[in-house]
Amino acid sequence: MNPRHFISLFDLSSAEFRALLQRAITLKQQKGLYEPLKNKTLGMIFEKSSTRTRISFEVAMVQFGGSAIFLSPRDTQLGRGEPIEDSARVMSRMVDCIMLRTFSHETVQTFARYSRVPVINGLTDLMHPCQVLADMQTYFEHRGDIQGKTVAWIGDGNNMCNSYIEAAVLLDFKLHIACPAGYKPDAAITAQAGERVSMLRDPKAAAAGADLIVTDVWASMGQEEEQEKRRQAFADYQVDAALMALAAPDAIFMHCLPAHRGEEVSAAVIDGPQSVVWDEAENRLHAQKALLELLLAASPS
């Protein structure tokens, strides 16, 4: 039987996405021992840096009675050119699940094709679905169902933005995307979203009346040499108090972190009363526990 992977949010149905969010909220409140993944092991391959993704997956496995192995290309044969296909075949004969953070989305897709166990996308240049699980959990906790609400994405049409487009389709919210010319999200992903997504140039137009304002760094991992060019291109795209003032009065602010105060977001906004970024970061743990349970555990109790 083919294992169930989580490469993109579209690997979940709308109903599964909603159920997963409710499960994450329940798991967050649950006290006492619950070890559905006893003796199970998660292999975690990181070809890029991470704080939240690594810690949340590792803690999730420990709390679920299992364990996690951190694998960096520097210390494994992957970094010396062992083919992805061979690495996937070998690793998946020993561990129960594999989380992979890498550059090319095709790498995760190839890895999954050759893996005997579920593969989780821990971020690629194209998508960051685990983060958007946590973001949606955070919205539901603070404001209830996101269906019919308006989300404004301000800044780079990057991996996070692409996963937000998929979330808009699955959870049925409106997504206003404001990005400079040349920094739009993936065309194929956008094309699937239809009228739910509006592409705008002006951040003010995107923020107007929004229930949730989201942004991310202007230069993602792997784009370090473009930093200066991007700083100029995105100069008018900072989420500051003036932009937040255009949103709905009870709007909240999210950022997947790490953040650069004074660039994509002002300190007053990220450290202000509308910001829910610390809950959002914590929810990586709970949302991923719900995900691991869905992919690996026999039946949640």
Contact assessment for residue 139 and residue 152, using Cβ atoms and an 8 Å cutoff: no
Give min distance, CB of 70 to ligand CP, in A.
12
Kindly tell me which residue out of 10, 19, 25, 50 binds ligand CP, with binding defined by CB under 6 A: 50
Nearest of 108, 109, 103, 122 to residue 50 by alpha carbon? 122
Return phi, psi of residue 72, to 5°.
-105, 145
> In which residue are the tokens 């929810």 written?
283
Q: Which stretch binds ligand NVA (CB under 6 A): 68-76, 109-117, 154-162, 197-205?
A: 154-162
Q: Is 231 known to be catalytic?
A: no
Burial category of 154 from C-beta neighbours within 10 Å (exposed 0-12, middle 13-18, buried 19 and up): buried
Give min distance, CB of 131 to ligand NVA, in A.
6
User: Among 5, 135, 216, 238, which one carries the catalytic annotation?
Assistant: 216
Cis peptide before 249 (omega within 30 of 0): no
What is the rounded CA–CA span in Å between residue 185 and residue 157?
4
Contact assessment for residue 213 and residue 175, using Cβ atoms and an 8 Å cutoff: no
Q: Is 18 known to be catalytic?
A: no
Other CB atoms within 10 Å distance of the CB of residue 207: 24
51 interface partner picked from ligand NVA, ligand CP, none, CB below 5 to 8 A per type: ligand CP
- For helices 14-29 and 277-296, give the axis angle rounded to 10 degrees: 110
Q: Is 4 known to be catalytic?
A: no
158 binds ligand NVA (CB under 6 A): yes
Give min distance, CB of 253 to ligand NVA, in A.
16
Provide the token pair at 123. 């971020």
Q: Is 250 known to be catalytic?
A: no
C-alpha torsion angle, residues 126, 128, 133, 135 (rounded to 10): -100
256 binds ligand CP (CB under 6 A): yes
Kindly tell me which residue out of 8, 138, 159, 163 binds ligand NVA, with binding defined by CB under 6 A: 159
DSSP 233-285: HTTT--B-HHHHTTS-TT-EEEE-S---BTTTB-HHHHTSTTB-HHHHHHHHH
User: Among 97, 161, 179, 256, which one carries the catalytic annotation?
Assistant: 256
Return the number of the residue (160 or 177) whose C-beta is nearest ligand NVA.
Answer: 160
Q: Is 216 known to be catalytic?
A: yes
3-state secondary structure (DSSP) of residue 114: helix
User: Among 5, 101, 176, 286, which one carries the catalytic annotation?
Assistant: 101
297 binds ligand NVA (CB under 6 A): no
Q: Which stretch binds ligand NVA (CB under 6 A): 36-44, 152-160, 276-284, 291-299?
A: 152-160
The radius of gyration of the chain's CA atoms, rounded to the nearest angstrom, is 19
Give min distance, CB of 144 to ligand NVA, in A.
26
Per-residue x/- track, 217-256, ligand NVA (CB under 6 A): x--xx----------------------------------x
Pairing of strands 41-46, 67-71: parallel
Give min distance, CB of 270 to ligand NVA, in A.
15
* Total of chain residues touching ligand NVA, rule CB under 6 A: 10
Q: Is 284 known to be catalytic?
A: yes
216 binds ligand NVA (CB under 6 A): yes
Binding footprint of ligand NVA on the chain (CB under 6 A): 123, 128, 158-160, 216-217, 220-221, 256
Active site residues: 101, 128, 131, 216, 256, 284
Binding footprint of ligand CP on the chain (CB under 6 A): 50-53, 123, 131, 256-257
